[in-house]
Structure 1
Amino acid sequence: MERVVLVTGGSRGIGAATAKLAAQRGWSVAVNYASNASAADEVVQAVRAAGRRAIAVQADVADEAQVMRMFEAVDAQLGRVTDLVNNAGVVDQAQRVEDMSGERLQRMFGINVIGSILCAREAVRRMSTKRGGPGGAIVNLSSAASRLGAPGQYVDYAAAKGAIDAFTVGLAKEVAAEGIRVNAVRPGLIETEIHASGGIPDRVQKLAHQVPMARGGTAEEVAQAILWLMSPEASYTTMSLVDVSGGR
């Protein structure tokens, strides 16, 4: 059976690294993106160069109708998903809670939490052996921030990732007998573009001294953990929250 993985937020950073590594390991890949079509197309070309099928699918994961259309597009062009990487996520400008707007919070939880739950819902509908599916794996992207709280910078982001931790545990138990494994990876300080989108492009360099391994991680290092959780090697692993944080 062909393995088909949907990677949300797959056009850059950890998502792009995951899509490329999945192709090398034998998956066909659907690359979801919100707005940067050219970056998504570059990832698609890299997947095809590795000999696997690939498509780019635009969708805002916080929008239920767009999520449903995205899964239908994957069904039609690649086949039913066997694996999902819930990677799409956002941060915002560093800010104290007392200064955060309701609009910021709606966006933060809409994309980081509701989007992940909507995508998991659609994946379970296709994967569950109870529904005639083949089973599969879901890997959610949490963050070390769910443990650390991110005070003075991104408490809302940390809270959203705390919700992902709880969601991972609950969904894993809910579908464990239906052939679906659900785990999460919690990256620490990783060298990706997300820090610039939060207004601190050199955040990894500034905080590397707090990491016991004394450096930031790479998107590829996180992708390795994600691919292990998707693989048959992790066949008895579900409900796990795997820290990829250099000891922080």
Structure 2
Amino acid sequence: MIRFLMWLALAVTAGTTAMAQRRPATVLAAASLQESMNAAADVWARRGHPRPVLSFAASSALARQAAAGAPADLFVSADMEWMDYLAARGVLASATRATLLGNRLVLVAPRASAVRIALRPGFDLRQALGQGRLAMADPAAVPAGRYGKAALERLGAWNDVAPLVVRAENVRAALALVERGVAPLGIVYATDAKASARVRVVAVFPAASHPPIVYPIARLKASRNPEGEAFRRFLVSGAGKAVFVRYGFTAR
């Protein structure tokens, strides 16, 4: 019995040591993935893995960091363009790129706002703004801003409201401006609106008004951490995508 207990203690110690030696995956993820990616990381940790280290920001900022050699294992973008940016620079590991998720684009207002808008060609967004500004992620670089600009151009509203746009550094910063009442209206993803109790969805942009919203994932070529590839495989699996679907994303 004593020998068995000694063996059991050694086995537990060895397992704990092995766990401690495994480095967690480091993930660069689009700002709109904050709640869902954290939930996926929690599931991964419950499966006996080190909990991934997550870094959230605009896809544009993260892609530039990855291209500059930032130490990370995975990159999850909110559009194809910034993943293409890294592919063109030879930064992605071969055969690891995959399309992970989809989303919708919405117009939001503070929860107490009574504004009503029908998003159709020729709608008067400037009048709906009144003396206020339109919050959106920077359309010059950030995916949510690019999608938003494309939608407004398609609906014939961009030229009228472009001077009134507050260009936020990422989609969550745009959401925060609406939450605080700094902007009466904002353009964010449907999942961002779902994550906030302080805004309401005024309208959903027609899917045909902007390029499809897709989130690709890939492992970075410089990654040598087995946990990075293992976590990537989990995220693209049915079980991994199911986590994101609970937060309003669509599996792709």
Q: Which has the higher contact order (CA 8 A, sep 6+)?
A: 2
Q: Give the helix-richer structure, 1 or 2.
A: 1
Q: From the CA coordinates, give the structure whose radius of gyration is larger.
A: 2
Calculate the TM-score normalised by the size of structure 1. Answer: 0.33
TM-score by length of 2: 0.33
Relative to its length, the structure with more strand (as a share) is: 2
